[in-house]
A and B are shown apart, each in its own frame.
Chain A
Amino acid sequence: MIAQTLMDGLIAGSMIGLGAIGITLTYSILRFANFAHGDLISWSAYFALSISTLLGTLAPGLATSVAPFSFGWSLPIGLAASIVLTALLALAVDWLLFARLRRRGGAIIILVMAGFGAALALRSFLEFLFTSKPYYFTDALQIAHPLAGGARATADQLLALGLAVVLVALVHLILTRTAAGRAMRAVSENQALAGLAGIDVARTIRLVWMFGAALAAVAGVMTGLLVQIRPHMGLDLLLPLFAAAILGGIGSVPGAMLAGLIVGIAEALCVQFVGAEWRAAVSFVILVAILLLRPQGLFGKAAA
């Protein structure tokens, strides 16, 4: 029983972790909490849904399930297209809103409020286009395979978990071993000095938006695959995402993923032992506790 709860928590937590990485990257570079990040997750799921449905209609063979998964090739293609489209959407929101406010020297609170506005607009537009009716990538039933300790998981769930682990490792390597990653970390620490060092700060900021959006796309599509697709799916994830980003320590990619897993497992344990109606409160309790006890998070550095 407990092994299954942990497995459920790990799977949900891995998606929270992917979303939290986007929030932590944006926050560490632009210094504001982007409340529209959850809606990028929702939009990514609808992008993938639209493209995979279109592909399935044009070439029905692409929609046929590829064992052991519940989906056909139309979904990975839809995911790849969704990554690009979500990145473009994030860049468009930045260009239309946040970049203009930054140029005007807008205070952090203005950027945060703008983020709220963008989130509302994105969500409402999604609801206008697709209604609030839930959608599913597939209606195929999957058998959960037995794993160690009595836990069970479907191939889709294991894929989501594996994908999250690979992506975190990849992002961590990019940040620590490549010129683009060094530039992102430099810009996050000191934009003026980064400029003096020859780093194009505006380009680096665009790169961060694209990175965060790409990870949001994977989280959105996999959440849509494992649960369902709704315009409010990103909003429902927002509190866990922020809890994970803050618990992990702002700016820390491994921290965000580990914290995502902790939040996911805590939610699963709460559902199991306290009651499903308290699930949403778990992230809030974690958020408040970490802010009171260790505001810099698990891997963050204390303010000087």
Chain B
Amino acid sequence: MHGIKRKNFTQELIKQKKLKDQAKIKYYRELNNQLLIAYKTNHKYDLESFKLTSIILDLNPELNVAWNFRRKIILNYFLQNTDSNVAFDWNQELNFTMLQLKRYPKVYWIWNHRTWCLRYVNDIQMWQNELHLVDKMLAVDARNFHGWTYRRYVVSQLKKNEPSNSDLLNETEFDYTTVKINKDISNFSAWHQRASLFPGKLSQLQGYSAKLELIKNEISYLTNAIFTDAEDQSVWIYLKWFITDATIVGILQTGEGGDGYLNVLKQFEDSIQIINNDEIEFSGKDNNWCLKILIVIQTIFFDKLQVEKGGRTDDRRIMLEKLVEVDPLRKNRYLYLLK
């Protein structure tokens, strides 16, 4: 706990701890050997081996060979056996991974095993439960990308099971990212999820004006975010995606006599200029993310849209030279781009 001195271990305590650990290590190694012999040499798929995997995975969930063995046992022993006494309890298996996830929320193999199990227990109510589970996991740690990946998988399964619910799910999932981003603007996983949902949300809407309104709302949400924290890369990466995504660009380009996209870019350019000028005024330095995104915008202007340069200047070289100064860690990339 904060503010409390960690207990200083006396020599005697350290010795005791080492002794205790030695016994633990020996025990673990024995189990490990047993497991490998049962799996690789004897192909011993039975209840005893199953129990062995439980014990060893409890000690070390990172041991993927044990998970593999466990799945082989389930397939080759439990599911082959017609004797009702050894009928396999999938719920118990899910519970086992659940307990593991609670303790080790960032171990790939546990998430993997859970996904594998669910393929065999495919029903709609179960997927609903999974969504609640992942809600809880993300409430504990909103930036656990395993949780977000799993969430996308669960949602895709829910859609597959009930295609009619697809639109509603998109809606609630999009709102979910808003809630998470409002709580923590630096949650890149949530921004990423938002990017994967936004095009779907757009295509759901009927009519040009409804689509445009959604885009305009997102522009103001993003503008709000860059003004709140211009140092946060999550927002800038999302912004970069937003102004280059084909669906969004396509919709914008059809509006305002073909200038819709150009105008949005100009609007962002102005906001970013304001932020960067303010930064220069305060600290004497450019904001490197402002420069990077301004370069992206100018590249679209001059290279993709072939905008008439009349009145506009191409500042990309100047900005790259500035970036060499303000972002020295990526100096060589900027020098390369300058060539």
Chain B associates with chain A = no
